[in-house]
Each structure stands twice: as structure tokens, then as C-alpha cells.
Amino acid sequence: MPDSRIEDAFIDGPAFIPFLSSGFPTPEDTPRLLKSLADAGADVIELGVPFSDPLADGPTIQASSWQALEQGVTVESVLDQLGEVAEDLPPVVIFSYLNPILRMGIEQFLERAQAVGAAGLLVTDLPVNSHPELENRLASGSLDLIPLTAPTTTNDRLETILGRASGFLYYISRLGVTGASEMLEPGLTDKVRELRQLVRLPVAVGFGISTPEQASAVAKVADGVVVGSALIAALKDSETSFVELASSLAEAIHSIA
């Protein structure tokens, strides 16, 4: 794997990693919203491909995916829209379930994703070593493959996961699905500190981070902070609310650097 643009995004301090559901509220909004996240201070952006059965996502992101699908959004259109603005963005990770990629064709997906400027790929429902042949095909391109790890991940399993990982390690801060939360999980600080001693990759924390205060607390121990549901909920309210929250989160995270 050549030098990673994604890993480079963590060099100057904790990274702000917002998630955007492609096609929400409308497909026409996506390029503009991506640029708004960049302007707000995003260091890496996760761009979600809508899927009809998003098992890892809570109700907020599920609803945004359904709205996008009802408007005809596909993995092909997601990549096309990224290509319109990628040169103005920080590194972008395509956040997808496996089925949309298989429907497009793995090699076709990789070729197109690389051509439009994507930097990484996170496949939520393809655990490491669950399907080695598919994983080898996905690893054949230049995209960083972002792995997920959870509070229940053992050190032996972590070693296996890291064998294929690049970009950063996405630590799921709690069991269950995505969604905003009023409180951070007990023991999160200790677990993230432990992970950072065990792995060479930056460790980013996501699931349940909703406010600048929470983001700041996580940024004190992690290399990056992922925020999704809270931003999508703000976007449902208004684009102004979305941009204001993104800017506040970026400021809180970057103040720790």
C-alpha cells in the first residue's frame, strides 16, 4: 500500500471525521454538503452509500438512507457525485455495506472509486477473514481498508484485524447500532488508551458521539472522532444547523491538538 492520505490526516492532532449520507436530503445536495464539511474543518469524511437493510445503523441514518434510495441514489451515483468535488475535499472514505458493491462489481467499484478520488473503504458487514476471496479482491486496489473493532474484540482478534488494516482503526464505542447519545460509554477512555498502545494505526472513535463536549473528551484520548447521527439529525432540521454543528465539533476536536 502506498503512502496513505488518510493516515496523513492524523499527523497534526486529533482528526474530525464527519459522516454524510449520500443523497440526503436530496441527491443534488451531496456535493455542496461535502464541501461544507471540508470548509467546516473535516480532516477525513465518511460518505455513506444508502442501503435498504443497514443493520449497523440506528434510526436516524436508516431514515436518511431510505430517503436517498427513494430518490434513486445508487453506489454509481454516489461515486459520480464524489468525483464532482473530490479535489476540494480531505480524504474521503466510502462507507458501504457489501451488497451495493457486489451489485456494481468489485473490480468496477474499485476502479471507479479510485478514479473519482476516494481514499478509503469501510465495509460494515464484511468482518476480517469472513470471506478471504472477497477481501483479497477489495484489497487489490489502492483504497485504504478501514477495519472496525468493538469493546468485545479480543487481542487475538485485533491482531488478525490489523493484518489487513490501513488508514485508521475505527473503534465502535458501544455495542448496538449508530445513534446520538447523551453520555459516553463507561470505560471508553481506558479502552482507547489501551488500543493506542497495541496498534500502529491511528484510532478513531465513533458511535454515540453527539456534542462538541463529548467530541472534545474523546479527542483527548483518541486520534480521531467520528460523528454521524447527530450531524444527520441536524441536517434534517436545516443545512444551517448541520454546518454550525460540524464547525463546533471541528473546533472542539482541534482545540486538543
Least confident of 21-35, 161-175, 233-247: 161-175
Sequence-ordered list of residues with C-beta below 8 angstroms from that of 59, at least 6 positions apart, any chain: 179
- pTM over 0.85, yes/no: yes
Kindly report, residue by residue over 57-68, the tens digit of the pLDDT.
778 999 999 999
Sorting pLDDT into bands at 50, 70 and 90, what band is 10? Answer: very high
Sequence-ordered list of residues with C-beta below 8 angstroms from that of 198, at least 6 positions apart, any chain: 155, 158
Q: Where are the alpha helices (DSSP H) in the chain?
A: 5-8, 30-40, 59-70, 75-85, 98-104, 106-116, 132-138, 155-162, 188-198, 212-219, 229-237, 239-254
User: Residues 29, 43, 46, 223: which is the catalytic one?
Assistant: 46
Sorting pLDDT into bands at 50, 70 and 90, what band is 187? Answer: confident
* Among candidate residues 1, 2, 10, the one with its CA nearest the CA of residue 201: 10
Annotated active-site residue 159? The verdict is no
Instruction: Give residue 179's pLDDT.
Output: 42
Least confident of 21-35, 140-154, 226-240: 140-154
Kindly report, residue by residue over 71-82, the tens digit of the pLDDT.
999 999 999 999
Cis before 132? omega within 30: no
What gap in Å lies between CA 26 and CA 67, rounded to an integer?
8
Structural contact between residues 211 and 200, judged by C-beta atoms closer than 8 angstroms: no
Q: Which domains does the chain have, with CATH numbers?
A: 14-254 (3.20.20.70)
User: Residues 57, 159, 213, 244: which is the catalytic one?
Assistant: 57
What gap in Å lies between CA 81 and CA 111, rounded to an integer?
15
Annotated active-site residue 190? The verdict is no
Mean pLDDT of all residues belonging to the chain:
92
> What is the SS3 assignment for 203?
strand
With 50 as the cut, is the pLDDT of residue 1 above it?
Answer: no
Kindly report, residue by residue over 219-232, the tens digit of the pLDDT.
999 999 999 999 99
